């Protein structure tokens, strides 16, 4: 076969090519329209200002005068918020997960309702929950804890319910065949199978929530975010950079602790 | 025992009061026949042997003993470890609770205010000075736009919300496209198998890591200063975060790429760019697109909240109505955000499945 032939064979039909070109050009035009819509030319006026901020950020000459005690205290508070919120969420999500699993409660209507409740908790971001709870229980870490708890309960309940639906029924049948009660069936037949999923998810949630909790303070829900927003508002850019570095170190620390714990608790299976 | 043949023993069992316990057999003999005795003795010896063996094993067999010991030790260790972990968890819980002033009383003190929210949501004030009247019934709740505080009435500013929601989705779209392009460009130098220069790999990896670790809301808050209040700051913040997150995923995909097409292009004299374009990209396109769509879902969610720091979208409006305690509008916006997030999730899931099906 000559090269001309292969070239002809590999060409797409003209109608399809025309469609692809139209689609591509349309997408590009829409992209340009979006750039225009959101005033992207402001980037060029903003960049010099951003450069000023970056220069201020890397100047740490006043390091000794910053309120280190307060910042570190808030940092610990953030981690405590994440831990408490996740802990409560795990406690809430375990029974909810059982209620939402098809093989535990076969009713389709009930399952639909519980699943929609999980979706409702999950669909709204932690940040929005934090704002709602700040109005309800006032400024401070409790609003943050409740926000983390509600959002995380939605996520974990769904995951637990799915884990419970995917278990091996043989183990449950074995326990049932000894004449065990329903509770014993769940305890010895179901729980050992979902425990690895549970632990690894809970650890992952603590990790991701301590990341998320750093921003909850921006709406007044306690933690390092509050300090960060204060410092942004008074343009103390050097301290802003310091707080960000603190956050990065803490998150990295929690990551490695949880990796170690996961390896220790559930071995190399996951 | 031989089935179907009645023996002396069977007769004795069936007729215990029979005069002759051991009836005569055809050949005139009496008592237990030898084959019956033999079976019983063998069974008895066998049972004794098993029992004795088991006793001997549990008491004297060294293998069994060491197994018992190790099993017991392992079980004890496991129980101690579980208890220890539980104690540590409870201790941590208490320390955190004290540190954050977390107590049931404080939550209970907040509960009336949540009740107040629903109270105001489901009541109307006939006039300025009159006390509010609770209206909570199905006919009222679905009474239509004219009925104050019915579900339809919450959405009386739906045109404003629709515009803002559309803006939010467009923000997410633009941020995803920008982040996708940057991540695409950076993922090739960040892949160890594709780039020989270690320094280039190191720098691109570290910069991607840096971009994804800074929380995007914080980034948006910082960007509001140089770029002004509005969607631009939010878009840039989300785009930078997207670059970091997608860049990592893309570079991992690239590292798993089959290197034979790359070698083929190199053998034909292709430059590094040509090797990437014709050797790697065709293999990886479905993965790239699928991850990009997944990221779009996440970015829609992020762009609903990024407005809280003044970076545009529906979040800015939500913050305003929460600040002014306009309860019906809070409900309306929350419901809209929920709907849009779920809708985009479902849509993108469907597109992703079709895309993977069409390209693989």
Query: Residue A125 sits in a domain of what CATH number?
Result: 1.10.3720.10
Q: Which of A142, A225, A228 sits opposite B100 (nearest CB)?
A: A142
pLDDT of the residue at B321: 87
- CA A136 to CA B92: how far, in whole Å? 26
Q: Is there a single domain that holds both residue B184 and residue B275?
A: yes
For residue A207, list chain B residues with Cβ-Cβ distance below 8 A: none
Q: Is residue A210 part of a domain?
A: yes
* Interchain CB distance below 8 Å, B113 and A135: yes
Number of domains in chain A: 2
pLDDT of the residue at A149: 93
Q: Is residue B242 part of a domain?
A: yes
Has residue B283 got a pLDDT over 60?
yes
For residue A255, list chain B residues with Cβ-Cβ distance below 8 A: none
Exposed/middle/buried for residue B38 (C-beta within 10 Å: 0-12, 13-18, 19+): exposed
Average pLDDT over residues A73-79: 92
Q: Is there a single domain that holds both residue B207 and residue B293?
A: yes
Domain that holds residue B35: 8-59
Q: CB distance from A121 to chain B under 8 Å?
A: no
Q: Is residue A63 part of a domain?
A: no
Q: Is there a single domain that holds both residue B75 and residue B34?
A: no
* Interchain CB distance below 8 Å, B319 and A247: no
pTM of the model: 0.77
Has residue B45 got a pLDDT over 80?
no
Chain B residue with minimum CA distance to A212: B215
Q: Is residue B26 part of a domain?
A: yes
Q: Is there a single domain that holds both residue B222 and residue B326?
A: yes
Has residue A4 got a pLDDT over 60?
no
Q: Is there a single domain that holds both residue A153 and residue A239?
A: yes
Task: Read off the pLDDT of residues A91-126 as tens digits, 9 standing for 90 and up.
Answer: 999 999 988 888 888 888 888 888 888 888 888 888
pLDDT of the residue at A25: 95
Chain B residue with minimum CA distance to A79: B96
Q: Is there a single domain that holds both residue B200 and residue B141?
A: no
Q: Is residue A64 part of a domain?
A: no
Interface of A with B in 38-97 (CB under 8 A): 38-40, 42-43, 46-47, 49-50, 52-53, 76-77, 80-81, 83-84, 87
Has residue B11 got a pLDDT over 90?
no
Residue closest to A88 by CA, chosen among A43, A42, A151: A151
Q: Is there a single domain that holds both residue A193 and residue A235?
A: yes
Average pLDDT over residues B70-91: 89
Has residue B267 got a pLDDT over 70?
yes
Has residue B232 got a pLDDT over 70?
yes
Q: Nearest CA to CA, how far is A71 from chain B (Å)? A: 14
Q: A219 falls in which pLDDT band (50, 70, 90)?
A: confident
Point out the least confidently predicted range of A1-5, A96-100, A161-165, B208-212.
Answer: A1-5
Single residue among A32, A57, A82 that ends a domain in this structure: A57
Q: Is there a single domain that holds both residue A182 and residue A86?
A: yes
Q: Is there a single domain that holds both residue A178 and residue A209?
A: yes
Higher pLDDT, B131 or A194: A194
Taking each continuous run of H as one helix and of E as one strand, the counts in chain B are 15, 2
Q: Is there a single domain that holds both residue B263 and residue B344?
A: yes
Residues 6+ apart with CB under 8 A from B265: B274, B275, B278, B279
Mean pLDDT of chain B: 81
Point out the least confidently predicted range of A212-216, A249-253, B134-138, B302-306.
Answer: B134-138
DSSP state for residue B131 in the 8-state scheme = P
Point out the least confidently predicted range of A84-98, A227-241, B46-60.
Answer: B46-60
- CA A264 to CA A258: how far, in whole Å? 10
Residue A254: how many other CB atoms lie within 10 Å: 20
Q: CB distance from B272 to chain A under 8 Å?
A: no
pLDDT of the residue at B43: 67
* Interchain CB distance below 8 Å, B223 and A50: yes
pLDDT of the residue at A2: 45
Q: Which of B214, B308, B309 sits opposite A244 (nearest CB)?
A: B214
* Interchain CB distance below 8 Å, B308 and A131: yes
3-state secondary structure (DSSP) of residue B17? coil
List, in sequence order, the alpha helices (H) in B60-142: 62-99, 104-121, 138-141
Q: Is there a single domain that holds both residue A74 and residue A42?
A: no
pLDDT of the residue at A1: 44
The answer to whether the beta carbons of residues B235 and B322 sit under 8 Å apart is: no
Has residue B1 got a pLDDT over 50?
no
Q: Which of A120, A229, A248 sits opposite B221 (nearest CB)?
A: A229
Q: Is residue A102 part of a domain?
A: yes
Has residue B343 got a pLDDT over 50?
yes
* Interchain CB distance below 8 Å, A146 and B107: yes
Q: Is there a single domain that holds both residue A106 and residue A157?
A: yes
Q: Is there a single domain that holds both residue A130 and residue A47?
A: no
Chain B residue with minimum CA distance to A228: B218
Q: B40 falls in which pLDDT band (50, 70, 90)?
A: low
Q: Which of A39, A124, A145 sits opposite B334 (nearest CB)?
A: A124
Average pLDDT over residues A10-28: 85
Helix (H), strand (E), coil (C) string for A14-54: HHHHHHHHHHHHHHHHHHHHHHHHCCCCHHHHHHHHHHHHH
Mean pLDDT of chain A: 86
Mutate to test the interface with A, among B305, B310, B325, B342 (most CBs of A within 10 A): B305
Q: Is there a single domain that holds both residue B300 and residue B245?
A: yes
Has residue A138 got a pLDDT over 60?
yes
Q: Which of B97, B218, B308 sits opposite A84 (nearest CB)?
A: B97
Q: Is there a single domain that holds both residue B261 and residue B142?
A: no
Q: Is there a single domain that holds both residue B220 and residue B236?
A: yes
DSSP state for residue A147 in the 8-state scheme = H
Q: B237 falls in which pLDDT band (50, 70, 90)?
A: very high
Q: Is there a single domain that holds both residue B119 and residue B224?
A: no
Point out the least confidently predicted range of A71-75, A171-175, A202-206, B17-21.
Answer: B17-21
Has residue A77 got a pLDDT over 80?
yes
pLDDT of the residue at B202: 93
Q: Which of B85, B113, B318 sits opposite A128 (nearest CB)?
A: B318
Q: Nearest CA to CA, how far is B329 from chain A (Å)? A: 13
Point out the least confidently predicted range of A127-141, A164-178, B47-61, B72-86.
Answer: B47-61
Q: Is there a single domain that holds both residue B145 and residue B214?
A: no
Number of domains in chain B: 4
Q: B39 falls in which pLDDT band (50, 70, 90)?
A: low
Q: CB distance from B102 to chain A under 8 Å?
A: yes
Q: CB distance from B97 to chain A under 8 Å?
A: yes
Q: Is there a single domain that holds both residue A53 and residue A86?
A: no
DSSP state for residue A190 in the 8-state scheme = I
Q: How many CA atoms lie within 13 A of B64 on its CB side?
A: 9
* CATH number of the domain that residue B253 is part of: 1.10.3720.10
Q: Which of A49, A120, A225 sits opposite B226 (nearest CB)?
A: A49
pLDDT of the residue at B42: 67
Q: CB distance from B107 to chain A under 8 Å?
A: yes
Single residue among A18, A37, A57 that ends a domain in this structure: A57
pLDDT of the residue at B170: 93
Q: Nearest CA to CA, how far is A15 from chain B (Å)? A: 19
Contacts of A248-255 with C-beta under 8 Å, sequence gap 24+, read: A248/B213, A248/B214, A250/A75, A250/A78, A250/A79, A250/A210, A251/A207, A251/A210, A251/A211, A251/A214, A251/B213, A254/A79, A254/A206, A254/A207, A254/A210, A255/A207
Higher pLDDT, B19 or B119: B119
Residues 6+ apart with CB under 8 A from B187: B246, B247, B250, B251, B253, B254
Mutate to test the interface with A, among B95, B102, B163 (most CBs of A within 10 A): B102
Chain B residue with minimum CA distance to A230: B221
Q: B175 falls in which pLDDT band (50, 70, 90)?
A: very high
Interface of A with B in 166-225 (CB under 8 A): 211-212, 214-215, 218-219, 222, 225
> What is the number of CB-based contacts under 8 A between chain A and chain B?
148
For residue B338, list chain A residues with Cβ-Cβ distance below 8 A: 119-120, 123-124
Has residue A261 got a pLDDT over 90?
no
Domain that holds residue A187: 69-269
Q: Is the CA virtual torsion B62, B68, B72, B78 positive or negative?
A: positive
Q: Is residue A11 part of a domain?
A: yes
Q: Is residue B250 part of a domain?
A: yes
Has residue A90 got a pLDDT over 90?
yes
Q: Is there a single domain that holds both residue A180 and residue A256?
A: yes
Q: Is residue B351 part of a domain?
A: yes
pLDDT of the residue at B323: 82
């Amino acid at each position: 076969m000559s090269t001309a032939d292969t070239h002809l064979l590999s060409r797409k039909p003209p109608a399809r090519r025309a469609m692809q070109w139209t689609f591509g050009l349309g997408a590009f035009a829409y992209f340009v329209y979006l750039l225009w819509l959101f005033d992207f030319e402001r980037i060029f006026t903003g960049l010099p200002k951003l450069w000023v901020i970056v220069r201020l950020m890397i100047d740490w000459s006043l390091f000794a005068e910053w309120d280190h005690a307060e910042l570190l205290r808030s940092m610990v508070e953030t981690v405590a918020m994440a831990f408490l919120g996740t802990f409560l969420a795990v406690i809430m999500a375990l029974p909810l997960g059982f209620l939402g699993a098809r093989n535990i409660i076969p009713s389709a209507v009930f399952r639909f309702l519980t699943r929609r409740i999980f979706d409702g908790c999950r669909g709204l971001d932690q940040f929005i929950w934090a704002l709602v709870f700040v109005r309800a229980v006032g400024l401070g870490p409790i609003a943050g804890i409740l926000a983390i708890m509600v959002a995380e309960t939605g996520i974990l309940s769904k995951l637990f319910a799915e884990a419970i639906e995917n278990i091996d029924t043989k183990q449950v049948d074995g326990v049932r065949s000894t004449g065990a009660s329903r509770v014993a069936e769940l305890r010895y037949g179901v729980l050992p199978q979902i425990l690895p999923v549970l632990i690894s998810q809970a650890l992952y949630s603590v990790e991701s929530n301590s990341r998320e909790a750093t921003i909850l303070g921006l709406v007044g829900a306690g933690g390092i975010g509050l300090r960060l927003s204060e410092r942004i508002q008074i343009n103390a850019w050097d301290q802003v950079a310091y707080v960000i570095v603190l956050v990065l170190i803490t998150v990295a620390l929690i990551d490695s602790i949880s990796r170690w714990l996961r390896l220790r608790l559930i071995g190399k299976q996951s | 025992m031989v089935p179907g043949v009645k023996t002396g023993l069977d007769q004795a069992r069936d007729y215990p009061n029979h005069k002759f316990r051991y009836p005569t057999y055809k050949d005139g003999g009496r008592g237990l026949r030898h084959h019956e005795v033999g079976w019983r003795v063998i069974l008895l010896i066998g049972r004794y042997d098993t029992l004795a063996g088991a006793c001997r094993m549990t008491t004297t067999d060294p293998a069994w003993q060491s197994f018992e010991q190790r099993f017991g030790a392992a079980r004890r260790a496991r129980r101690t470890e579980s208890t220890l972990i539980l104690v540590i968890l409870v201790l941590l819980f208490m320390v955190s609770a004290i540190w954050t002033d977390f107590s049931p009383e404080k939550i209970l003190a907040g509960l009336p205010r949540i009740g107040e929210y629903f109270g105001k949501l489901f009541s109307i004030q006939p006039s300025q000075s009159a006390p509010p009247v609770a209206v909570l019934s199905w006919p009222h709740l679905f009474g239509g736009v004219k009925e104050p505080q019915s579900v339809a009435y919450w959405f009386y500013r739906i045109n404003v919300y629709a515009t803002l929601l559309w803006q939010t989705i467009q923000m997410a779209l633009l941020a995803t496209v920008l982040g996708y392009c940057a991540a695409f460009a950076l993922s090739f130098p960040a892949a160890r198998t594709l780039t020989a220069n270690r320094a280039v790999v190191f720098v691109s990896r570290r910069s991607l890591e840096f971009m994804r670790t800074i929380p995007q809301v914080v980034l948006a808050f910082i960007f509001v200063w140089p770029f002004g209040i509005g969607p631009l700051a939010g878009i840039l913040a989300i785009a930078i975060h997207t670059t970091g997150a997608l860049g990592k995923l893309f570079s991992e995909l690239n590292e798993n790429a089959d290197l034979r097409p790359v070698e083929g292009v190199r053998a034909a004299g292709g430059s590094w760019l040509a090797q990437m374009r014709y050797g790697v990209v065709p293999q990886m396109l479905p993965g790239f697109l699928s991850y990009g769509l997944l990221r779009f879902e996440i970015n829609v969610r992020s762009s609903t909240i990024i407005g809280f720091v003044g970076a545009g979208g529906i979040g800015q409006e939500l913050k305003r109505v929460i600040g002014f305690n306009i309860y019906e509008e809070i409900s309306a916006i929350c419901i809209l955000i929920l709907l849009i997030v779920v809708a985009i999730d479902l849509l993108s899931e469907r597109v992703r499945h079709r895309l993977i099906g069409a390209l693989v």
